[in-house]
Structure 1
Amino acid sequence: MILLAAALVTSVVLVRWDVVRTRRVETALAELDRAAASLTVARRDGSAALAASAGRVNDQRARRDLSALLVGLPTWDPPGNGSPQARAERAGRQAGAVRARVVALTDATAVVREEHARWLLATATAERMAVHASLGAAVAEAGAALVASEGRVLDDAPRAALRAAVHEAGTARQAGAQGPRAVGASAERLLDPRPTPRTGGRARAVLDAAEARATVLREETAVLRSHVDRLAAARAAVGTAESAWQAEQDRRAAEREAAERAARVPARATGSGPRSAPGRGPGGSPAAGGAGGSAASPGPSTTPTGLSGAAPELPPGWTTVVETEGGAWCGDEFGASWEC
């Protein structure tokens, strides 16, 4: 009876020990499964952070560190061989390694997200400041164009449009000088460089706030840039109007110059000249070919020998001497002629 009782006790102990070992293995395997699930999430978040921050961080070391943690991952395959105790110990070591990689990945992902958030804010802020400055320069140039074009356009409508654009751009510029609109939680406060716990949730909040702030900055930048473009178009229209005005002035000046040249040319007098009497040659002698005191007409108009076509054109006040068989005929600048 004693031996039977001892055997029963031993059996119960062995069964209980086997149950304990089995539970240890199951617990270790369950921990390994949970660690593997966390690693899957951490890998997904890290990969997404890398993809979103490509070319959009100031310090590339953060991205290199995260990339290195995404490769060479510890194994999480459950141990299938060995005693229950060995399997439990191996599963426990695997779970610990996986959890350590999860922590490292989470921290590295948080660093990349915060670097990305800083880049977003810095880039959007710098772009807004540059466009705001260019708007100030555009307003000044447009004002100078208004002054220079005063009284130099045929239609004042382009200048009125430019004047309106200058007014609206000045209002937008003054509003923009007050800084961007606030966006919920301040991204600057979230990006405080003082030591704070860097967790995945905080990094996500930092990135979300920075993205919201950068979106507002980009919207304001687009509004400011639209005023710059409108000023440029209005200035171009005023320039076109000035060119049209100048072309009209040039046309009028050319017309006046042509009229003045025409007025300076003397009109030709017909039938006048230094002759002693009508129909008389020099010295009162009768003009050849004349009869009854009538003025003699020059001989037939012929083309000089060796030439063809009409007689050559002469300067004002000059006339052609035509030699004929009966002698030579002379003339003066007033149209009178006589036999030489």
Structure 2
Amino acid sequence: MGVEAACDANNRGGFERLISQGAAEPILFELYYRESGKTRPITYELEIDLDKMGRPYVKRERLRQRVEKHGRPRTFMYLQEGNGYAFEGNDDGGQDDDGNITGKKVEVQLSDIRRLGIVTLGAMKQYDRIEKFLSFLKSWYLCYFSPDAARKLQTAAPQAHLDRIGSNINNVAQYMYRENKKGFEKILQEIQSKLPGIEKIEPQKFENGQMMLRFYEKGFERPFYSQRMSDGTLKLFAYYLLLHEKNPRQLVFIEEPENGLYHHYLGELAEEMKKNVGNGYAKQLFITTHSPFFVNALGPDDVWVLTKNNGGCSEVKRASEFAFVKELA
């Protein structure tokens, strides 16, 4: 949508509300990214500033990648206020800090400096590395599940992924059922063993093609549909369904999973999330929480503590770096 629209979206209040108070420098982001254990890391730098008319625009963008494991990084895309260059292909092409060039360099001039260069160039097949990096960014997923949203009836439209608030639980169930019926039933069996008071979960397909989930609770003969389930059960089910997605998003952000959940189940949920991620590069989870019950199920290396300093800015420190945590070990 462009940086100007992004600054105003979701009640953010514009560039002036996003930048730290008293700061004169542009907003700067830096991402360090690796596709897999066999690929070389990529660094993406982005600067957003105000033009003479006070409108946000992309001041600078750069993508760099190391040629060798311990070699110097080479820039394969650089744009300063819409002007710069990019290297085609998926090889070692790039330009180092001394100006040495390998590969095919293409001069670039963007017509709209309010849109990211990676969005424009990533749509072109010849810029393979930029395209892959853009696909990685598009796979990011932020969720804040809302049980009320999950209770709403949806049209019969299979969807591969849960949306931000989990309003399409039944659509995702319909997709998973269509793609692999036996595999989905096996997933439901695994999930139901982790939900309190649930003996069985099964899909119910209607004549109009719509699908809904039926929950069999202990002590009741007839099942409940998802619209009648408790907030906690729906949220837990949504989290476990997220962990079983067929084509998982590479980077998933989860906000405060403890809201609406009994603290007894948070430890097991944290352990399941950690186990689901594993040690590879297929998926990474970032979770914000205020719950000690959730944190206690994790190791000191898995937890970062954010605090406000005297200047009003946030600082982050790994839990394993605190002296009292080291003493506990």
Taking structure 2 as the reference length, the TM-score comes to 0.20
State the structure with bigger RCO (CA 8 A, min sep 6), 1 or 2. 1
Taking structure 1 as the reference length, the TM-score comes to 0.19
Point out the structure with max Rg over C-alpha.
Answer: 1
Q: Normalized per residue, which structure has more helix?
A: 1
Q: Normalized per residue, which structure has more strand?
A: 2
